[in-house]
Amino acid sequence: MAKQITRKDFAFDQCCPKCSQPLTSGTGFFVWDQEEQTEHPYGRDCAEKVTGHESKGIPDLTKMTILATPASQKKGRSEIGSKRSDEEREISNTKLALEYLLLRTLMLSDFDEVYCDELVVYYEKYIRGLLLKDDIKFLIEHEEKAREKGRKFSARNLQCVYAFNCCLRKAQQIALSSKQTRRAEFLGSLLAFLQRNLYLSHNQVFSVNKIFSEKGKIPPLTGNPFVWAWGKSKKK
């Protein structure tokens, strides 16, 4: 497999290599070129054209962005459950397993508590298109066991950690370029808190979303996966 769509991810201030159009949503479909050993973000249509594969079922690391209206979010939740076909459930489980794999090997590799050396061999198989059904089953079970040890290691919580980590870093970069030193220091303190605790408090989520909305290019994020820690943080 020469080229493969590996994930949907944040891609700030970048253009699609194929059509040269800016990725205005701040997200892109990342294509790994096995021959060149390079990776670039594309628009959905261009990613599908250069790889010859649909993007359906690929890992999505932008899930925590608040893009839908409350009404559409409610509708989406009502459609999830027993009405899903076996095929849809399998696709969903596979996406979750792959998202978990990427988060614990590549995307959060600088988070010592998150990085999992045991899973690196599965990541290497993934980018070569060599993952088997048994590998997916192992990853699903690995995520379930990790979640039992603590909700901060669940795929959903790690997705949220990753989203805030990306967007906070982008906001800090903007603050530094605008010479907003105090804001950059504040964002740096939140990044350190996030890396240390694997969550942000309710007030911290509210504060950073206000900053994100000011910047325009950064999407607001939901902090719902952090609820497990909010009661604990209030007691401190």
DSSP-derived pairing of the beta strands 38-42 and 3-10? unpaired
C-alpha atoms less than 13 angstroms from C-alpha of 28 in its C-beta half-sphere: 24
* Total-model pTM: 0.88
Nearest to 174 by CA among 29, 61, 64, 26: 26
- Provide the pLDDT for residue 215: 66
The residues, ordered by sequence, that sit 6+ positions from 25 with a Cβ below 8 Å of its Cβ are: none
Closest CA to 190 of 174, 178, 213, 206: 206
- State the pLDDT confidence band at 217, using cuts at 50, 70 and 90: confident
- What is the per-residue pLDDT across 66-114, written as a single tens digit (0 to 9) for each? 854 344 344 444 444 456 688 888 888 999 999 999 999 999 999 999 9
**Host H or E run for residue 87:** helix 86-102
